Chains A and B, each alone.
Chain A
Amino acid sequence: MEDSTDFLATKIPSLEKFEDNLRCPICRELLLRAPKITECGHTFCGECIDRHLNNETRCPLCRLEVQRAQLRANKSLESAVEEWKLNRDKLLHQLTLEQNSNTREHKDDNEKHEHTGVLNNVEIQHNPNVKTMSVCPICSKTLPISEIQGSHIDTCLQTNSSRSKRKRPFFEPIPTKKLSLPFFATLSDAKIRILLAENGLISKGSRAKLIQRFQEYFTLYNNNLDLKTPEPVSNLRKKMSLWEKTQNNNTNDLKELDAKEWTSQHQTQFDELITSAKKTAEKKNTPEKNSENVINLTQTEPQTKLKNGEVSESDNESEI
């Protein structure tokens, strides 16, 4: 997967740090999607920082106070990153080639070959690790030539043409006006439901879920308008339905995990836990010596659960 660490294996490994600064500290993608700069001078994807500000009011990097209204588009950086993105694969390809040929020359020097030129070529073919790479003319990814000439071109053509179809704006006008975030505390559930329905969103669920849903849509919608080529609203609705799925899946998964698997797998450990707990309870009832421990236990009890790893506290307990 594309990452700044790609440059670590090249002739100029410090480009890793350079590219790291062109990536959003939150999602680690290149800052191509309407990046925004905070008052403290840090830049994030518009969507990422917006979503973060739903929970918090501090900069993820330096913890200074940040307000949504003070965010500004960082256009120079966006353009710079666009240029970087256009040339990134070529550069990476070039630097990797140079790196490889350098190491090969060293090898040849050591082995004292006379016809290094010819031998180099032979080596390329024989060394399976050094495939002849080329840049795909459609998606401009660097891939082995054999792969590009094989299946890659076809799949690349297909995905690209379907992508351009989706972007065509003739059927669906792109909205121009941004949504405003209401002050939820003063709105009744019914009003929030109406608001959701007006935007074509699901209006079921608890109050917290309704608010979360609107916040997510608000983040997607307004940041979409900041993009150089905004997507039609139908795409945002698709993203929202994906979002709904992750929300539902999550709770279902957890319920199943909690109830069935964990209990059956770890019944014996739970039993041990219960008996040991009863024992300590009996001990504590008699003398008053252990009062400190009681406080300690009650203080720490509520946080015990490690979401998915609930079991393991019993592991530990049995060790004790």
Chain B
Amino acid sequence: MALPKRIIKETERLVTDPVSGIIATPHEENLRYFDVSLEGPPGTPYEGGVFKLELFLPEDYPMTAPRLRFLTRIYHPNIDRLGRICLDVLKDHWSPAMQIRTILLSVQALLSSPNPDDPLANDVAAIWKENEPLAVQTAKEWTEKYAM
């Protein structure tokens, strides 16, 4: 199966000119499958943590969005316990003009601004709304426990 030029270019650029705080490395046996590590943004409860994600480019990428999932446990209202991410640009707001790097930046931005009003992890979102300091504290603890 031929790998589209665009994927090769994107991969080259990810490796030679990485986005700060994000490392994405393709698997040698499957160049559509990437291991991603993402640093928790400073000033958030995820600061200091390094989160592992998996990323897969489907056959019709870039016409459809990459598939992306957290492998490291994270306490966040829009990320559930299986690591699935509730993010518009991964679903109906995907556009073929976006790239792997822009999607990963969006995920980083999601960590900076959790949105408990559109939750995926209902229990986390409920606590986030009722008692935000407690939620932030738990997120910090989880970061220390799972991501450091």
Chain A bound to chain B: yes
Residue of B nearest to A55 (CB): B63
Contacts A52-B63, A296-B123 given; does A28 touch B69 at CB 8 Å? no
- Cα of A245 to Cα of B33 in the assembled complex, Å: 21
Contacts of A312 in B (CB 8 A): 54, 69, 71, 83
- Check if A250 sits within 8 Å of B84, measured CB to CB: no
Interface SS of chain A: helix
Q: How far is the CB of A245 from chain B (nearest CB, A)?
A: 8
| Chain-A contact segment, one of B5-13, B40-48, B127-135 | B5-13
Q: How far is the CB of B98 from chain A (nearest CB, A)?
A: 8
- Check if B5 sits within 8 Å of A316, measured CB to CB: no
Contacts of B67 in A (CB 8 A): 306-307, 309
Considering the complex, which residues of chain B in the window 1-56 have a beta carbon less than 8 Å from any beta carbon of chain A? 1-2, 4-6, 8-10, 12-13, 16-17, 30, 32-33, 54, 56
- Cα of A88 to Cα of B93 in the assembled complex, Å: 35
Number of A-B contacts (CB under 8 A): 96
| Chain-B contact segment, one of A1-9, A129-137, A197-205, A222-230 | A1-9
Interface SS of chain B: loop
Question: Considering only CB atoms and an 8 Å cut-off, how many residues of chain B contact the other chain?
Answer: 39
Considering the complex, which residues of chain A in the window 239-275 have a beta carbon less than 8 Å from any beta carbon of chain B? 242, 245-246, 249-250, 253
Contacts A27-B6, A315-B71 given; does A308 touch B56 at CB 8 Å? yes
- Cα of A317 to Cα of B30 in the assembled complex, Å: 24
Contacts of B121 in A (CB 8 A): 296
Judge whether A51 is part of the interface by a CB distance below 8 angstroms. Answer: yes
- Check if A25 sits within 8 Å of B97, measured CB to CB: yes
Considering the complex, which residues of chain A in the window 210-227 have a beta carbon less than 8 Å from any beta carbon of chain B? none
Judge whether B122 is part of the interface by a CB distance below 8 angstroms. Answer: yes
Contacts of B17 in A (CB 8 A): 5, 8
- Check if B80 sits within 8 Å of A300, measured CB to CB: yes
Contacts A296-B122, A309-B67 given; does A29 touch B82 at CB 8 Å? no
Judge whether B137 is part of the interface by a CB distance below 8 angstroms. Answer: no
Partner of A52, one of B73, B80, B93, B96: B96
5 closest A-B pairs by CB: A25-B97, A60-B97, A60-B95, A26-B96, A250-B59
Chain A residues close to B by CB (< 8 Å): 1, 3, 5, 8, 25-29, 48, 51-52, 55, 58, 60-61, 63, 242, 245-246, 249-250, 253, 292-293, 295-296, 300, 303-304, 306-309, 312-313, 315-317, 319-320
Chain B residues close to A by CB (< 8 Å): 1-2, 4-6, 8-10, 12-13, 16-17, 30, 32-33, 54, 56, 58-59, 62-64, 67, 69, 71, 73, 80-84, 93, 95-97, 120-123
